[in-house]
Amino acid sequence: MYARATMTLPYSQFQYAVLILSALLLFLYGLEHFSKELQTIGSDRLPRWLGLATHNRLGGFALGASVTAVVQSSSAVSALVVALVNAGTLSFAGSLAVLLGAKVGTTSTAWLVSYELTHIGPYLIVLGGLLTMLPFSIRVVGRAIFYFGFIFFALDLVSSSLEPLRHAPWMLDLLAQAQAPLLGVLLGVVMTVVLQSSSVVSGLAIVLVQQGVLEPMGAVAVVVGASLGTTATGLIASIPMDRFARRTAQMNLMFNAVGVGLMLPFITPFGEWAVRTGGSPGQAVAIANLAFNLGVALLFLPFSGWMGRRFSPPGEPTPSALNAPV
């Protein structure tokens, strides 16, 4: 059985900071490359699937959720959707349902972390590494498995590096600020904009809760803020693109900003409900993350067709793969 290493050396605060940052960067690296490998596997099919699925808003929503859950990155899916709108493969109206689905799919990372499965990382790394030695079609799958294991391995490093700091006064003072709902949300926004991944931020929040460093209520505020911060990727990607792609990114920002604004006054009772519902503190944060994103998606999904017509810039070309959802 794989036993997680613990750090007992008398490291300085600076060395601990370097260890934590290194582990976070490894987590981000694994997540990014896992997403890229899966996008490579489906690169020939994904645009066509998106085009066909978004004939119906429920199909677009389901595909957006499924793809994001698999590739573990709503930022990557959002950037892809913006690019497809720019290329004329996906209509502006059709893109909205996909973006709402991506909000729900991105919560899969939090669920994986909440069940404390990090011990399987080395086994997946070995399995994926062995599969990369086989013929090409299997080799591609092997790389995806390798990076999936890398994600768990890096999370274990994050958890190990944080453990010695769980009682450090400066760490407790810093994270105590996140207990205030507004500050917790702002912390989630800033961290996600910097790291360009709400999955990393939600995973880190749950690890901190599991270590007893961060209270579940503070983690709930952080993951709510992360849903707003993740829109930065799509906004940046849309800057050199046409007005339809930019409007798609702006609508994604609007969905998340409205959702966060509506939730902010109720974060405390919402977090208390999640704590009562979850089987463990980490699972409580995962439940809150899913409930919030699903609630925002269901709020806007029935109106996505109308919003597509109302907010679409004039002169949108007919997409090559679909019509707008009805």
Q: What is the DSSP string of 240-281?
A: TS-HHHHHHHHHHHHHHHHHHHHHGGGHHHHHHHHHHH-SSH
Taking only the tens place, the pLDDT of each residue in 216-272 is 888 999 999 998 988 887 788 778 877 877 888 889 899 999 999 999 999 999 999
How many angstroms separate the Cα of 157 from the Cα of each of 9, 100, 249?
A: 15, 32, 34
Cβ atoms of 220 and 267 within 8 Å: the answer is yes
CB-based burial label for 119 (10 Å; 0-12, 13-18, 19+): middle
Cα separation, 104 vs 110, whole angstroms = 11
Q: Is the pLDDT of residue 325 over 50?
A: no
Q: Is the pLDDT of residue 88 over 60?
A: yes
Query: Could you tell me the residue ranges of all domains in the chain?
Result: 13-311
- Least confident span in 66-80, 144-158, 210-224, 308-322: 308-322
Taking only the tens place, the pLDDT of each residue in 154-206 is 877 777 776 666 666 666 666 666 678 888 899 889 888 887 778 888 888 88
Q: Is the pLDDT of residue 326 over 50?
A: no
Query: Residue 11 CB: number of other CB atoms within 10 A?
Result: 15
Question: Percent of the chain, pLDDT > 70?
Answer: 79
- Least confident span in 28-37, 104-113, 212-221, 292-301: 28-37
Please report the pLDDT score of residue 254 as a whole number: 93
This prediction's pTM? 0.76
Q: CB-based contacts of 300: which residues, under 8 Å, 6+ apart?
A: 96, 100, 255, 307
Query: What would you measure as the largest C-alpha separation in the chain, in angstroms?
Result: 64
Q: Mean pLDDT across the chain, nearest whole number?
A: 79
